[in-house]
Structure 1
Amino acid sequence: MIKQVSQIAIPVKKMERAVQFYKEMLELQLLFETDQMAFFDCNGLRLLLSLPDKEKFAHASSIVYFQVKNIEKSYERLKKDGVLFSSKPHLVAKMDDTETWMAFFEDSEQNTHAIMSEISTK
């Protein structure tokens, strides 16, 4: 039976540019890299950036939702650093005493991702 997701692959077009984006803009820890791959730690989940070895893998990534503590501060810092957002932080769900906020952005390889924050309303 599946216990958890341990790694997510994100296809890239230019490895050096993608590594720089995930390392400098998103401030993820680079674990190691090769000519074709780079591995980042995201609180125990590995993000694998890879140059597709076959055309059938050269497509946009699934959306990765990155949890942040303060969505407004994270949005402002990333935007200031040049990350292109397609939306401002906005409320997407309200459940009991928790609000879920998101803001969508593009990485350096034109993959869409999001920052998200779950805020207690108590």
Structure 2
Amino acid sequence: MEFRLGGIGQVARHVSDIGRAVDWYGGVLGLPHLYTYGDLAFFDCGGTRLFLSRREDGAAPGEQSIIYFRVPDIHAAHERLTARGVTFEGAPHMIFRHADGVEEWMAFFTDPDGGLLAVMAQTPAG
């Protein structure tokens, strides 16, 4: 049998303050908080775990990967998150149209440490 990797199990991100991150990722974004252990916090992102760890004092934040959250309706997600205090870099916009007409839409925002995040949705051909 051929070896294949499974789905992504966990994504890690550094934050400056675990308490503030737990409040923001759980309260503002609405991610289910799994548990916090010292300077580590874990959230469920539809079966993929988000692992937040406190950055060492004085350490440069460094470049981090963008986390893209799938949503069924990007305009509704944009509106709801904006109402919760999230500041987007711009309105949701189409990134790409596939040959079958399906459109890829995204809108970008940052967490309290300036880490880039996005909501993304596919809009069926109409």
Q: Which residue of 2 aligns with 1:103?
A: 107
Q: Which residue of 1 aligns with 2:55?
A: 52
User: Equivalent residues in 2 for 1:7-86 (5 A)?
Assistant: 7-53=10-56, 58-86=61-89
Relative to the length of structure 2, the TM-score reads: 0.89
SS in 2 for 1:86: coil
Q: Distance in 2 between matches of 1:6 and 1:56?
A: 26
Structure 2: gaps of 5 or more residues: none
Relative to the length of structure 1, the TM-score reads: 0.92
SS in 1 for 2:109: strand
Q: Which has the larger radius of gyration?
A: 2
Q: Which residue of 2 aligns with 1:117?
A: 121
Q: Distance in 1 between matches of 2:116 and 2:63?
A: 8
Measured after TM superposition, the shift of residue 14 of structure 1 is 0.9
SS in 2 for 1:85: coil
Measured after TM superposition, the shift of residue 55 of structure 1 is 6.6
Equivalent pairs counted in the alignment come to 122
Measured after TM superposition, the shift of residue 89 of structure 1 is 0.1
Measured after TM superposition, the shift of residue 69 of structure 1 is 0.8
Q: Distance in 2 between matches of 1:117 and 1:109?
A: 25
> Does the 8 A contact of 1:60 with 1:110 survive in 2?
no
Measured after TM superposition, the shift of residue 81 of structure 1 is 1.1
SS in 2 for 1:84: coil
Q: Distance in 1 between matches of 2:90 and 2:36?
A: 31
Q: Quote the RMSD (CA, aligned, Å).
A: 1.7
> Does the 8 A contact of 1:106 with 1:112 survive in 2?
yes
Measured after TM superposition, the shift of residue 108 of structure 1 is 1.5
